[in-house]
Structure 1
């Protein structure tokens, strides 16, 4: 069975059975009908995925690998904060009339900073260090920039990646590992989407830097299930997990800025039916 399914089932069961409720408290999100969107939540959830063993896509329902890769590249490669550069509508609710989500996500990735080696943005700095100083303990990104929060239409949820390189005990091969820090996550709608995005990112960066993909550690400060999602989650985690798919990344791409969603594929990806009509709190 897919290890990602086991992680997801155990996490959801723990949130529902042992989490705390925000019902009756002052909360920001609302449903489309204007009523408050309450959650059941767990603090400090940590999940680990060994990408050298399998790709962490759920089989309980399908995760659209090309769509989630497109959003990841929108942020990390295009460094855009305009939905007109994105091939889906998932950010439409937070965009202004011009399509901008403000100084959030991709905007922060394109800001250049002064380093001893010259001016670089955060993505280029990561790639530079992985190639020239792989054992550095300072390879990280952070898009939760306090001085710009007032100009963001949504504060970043997944806000930081820390990269760490290890050497294989049995060879000189290097392994790229990463920690994704997330302040908040809507588990039903976004959990596996984010996991797959950053698993793809690790695979891409490892390939262009001559490494192998290793562990992805996902740290979620506030992992929550919305009140109207609980019956959907109960149905989802009652399903029988299926074998994990095989991940394919175009081996001919050696420049991070040349990857497209078409360079990513999940082979033998068998899943249960998609859950439809999921209400989204905004």
Structure 2
């Protein structure tokens, strides 16, 4: 596999080209644009992307700037703070969840609220420490009882896109490695794929640190990959861009071993020349489907 930019750039161009060539248009979509019109998508099914963290591989792309710190803060909000409160995000400087406020200042019983309600994070950490080679280390946020009210109706909130992680420990040449597979039911690919991958790698780094393992393989499986109909021209422009040569790596740079003590300042993204990327491949504006 010849990669002229980052591995994230390679996957990005590969998948976006495939969507443009083979993607099918949906019917009666749930999301709508801010002007009220339906947000149609072109999509393909079933892709897999993989990064070997032990070799320094990283999903961050250079075809446009990626706000990696916001990505990591969001994963802390979900799994460490275990919150569904919009204000908690505002305090971290993140406002892109505002459109999913169900009217009470939260995103409903989703994401962090599900992690807390089912004690998912603590069960994972305890399970990995007690039985590292077990094959039942799974965190699943697709909890039907969180989505349904007592009358059988559906509670408000965006059902989780990145909904499941599966964790396995193996022996390597210099110790025990922690591999993680993340399942995602739906990905607005050019908007959030690199962000989702970075934040779940951050989660993998934290869990590995707490349990005394080395970060291993990160595998990302996406069931449905899409671009919105209003994003086609942006995607075509993005595919003409040349990568910025660099070798970024997300590092958890701390001696802490308490999962609930990690902060954004403990993370470093090395060799990611943001100013050069902004100059060569400036940020794009995308209309969101809400």
In the superposition, the TM-score normalised over structure 1's length comes to 0.92
Aligned to 1:134: 132
- Unaligned runs of 5+ residues in structure 1 are 113-120
Q: Which residues of 2 match residues 213-252 of structure 1 at below 5 A?
A: 213-241=215-243, 242-252=245-255
Q: Which residues of 2 match residues 109-258 of structure 1 at below 5 A?
A: 109-112=115-118, 121-149=119-147, 150-168=154-172, 170-171=173-174, 173-241=175-243, 242-258=245-261
* Aligned-residue offset at 1:261: 1.1
Indicate yes or no: 2:287 matched with 1:279.
yes
Aligned to 1:84: 87
In structure 1, C-alpha distance between the alignment counterparts of 2:145 and 2:258, rounded to whole Å:
32
- For residue 217 of structure 1, give the secondary structure of its aligned residue in structure 2: strand
Checking the alignment, whether the CA contact within 8 Å between 2:202 and 2:250 is kept in structure 1 is no
In structure 2, C-alpha distance between the alignment counterparts of 1:237 and 1:198, rounded to whole Å:
25
> Structure 1 segments of 4 or more deviating over 6 A?
none
Compare 241-250 and 7-16 and name the one that shifted more. 241-250
- Unaligned runs of 5+ residues in structure 2 are 148-153
In structure 2, C-alpha distance between the alignment counterparts of 1:26 and 1:36, rounded to whole Å:
8
* Aligned-residue offset at 1:257: 0.6
* Aligned-residue offset at 1:8: 1.2
Checking the alignment, whether the CA contact within 8 Å between 1:4 and 1:49 is kept in structure 2 is no
In structure 2, C-alpha distance between the alignment counterparts of 1:16 and 1:188, rounded to whole Å:
12
* Alpha-carbon distance change, 73 to 152 in structure 1, aligned in 2, over 3 angstroms: farther
Aligned to 1:118: none
In structure 2, C-alpha distance between the alignment counterparts of 1:152 and 1:274, rounded to whole Å:
36
In structure 1, C-alpha distance between the alignment counterparts of 2:78 and 2:229, rounded to whole Å:
30
Checking the alignment, whether the CA contact within 8 Å between 1:66 and 1:265 is kept in structure 2 is no
In the superposition, the TM-score normalised over structure 2's length comes to 0.89
Match of 2:61 among 50, 58, 65: 58
In structure 2, C-alpha distance between the alignment counterparts of 1:197 and 1:98, rounded to whole Å:
26
Matched pairs, number: 270
In structure 2, C-alpha distance between the alignment counterparts of 1:221 and 1:98, rounded to whole Å:
31
What whole-Å deviation, never above 9, does each CA across 1:181-229 have from its counterpart, x for those lacking one? 1111111211111010001111111112111111111111110011111
* Aligned-residue offset at 1:158: 0.8
* Aligned-residue offset at 1:180: 0.8
Checking the alignment, whether the CA contact within 8 Å between 1:104 and 1:152 is kept in structure 2 is no
Indicate yes or no: 2:11 matched with 1:13.
no
* Aligned-residue offset at 1:141: 0.6
RMSD (Å) for aligned C-alpha atoms: 1.4
Aligned to 2:48: 46
In structure 2, C-alpha distance between the alignment counterparts of 1:4 and 1:234, rounded to whole Å:
17
* Aligned-residue offset at 1:274: 3.6
* Aligned-residue offset at 1:36: 1.2
What whole-Å deviation, never above 9, does each CA across 1:47-104 have from its counterpart, x for those lacking one? 1111122222111122112110010010000000111111201110111343111110
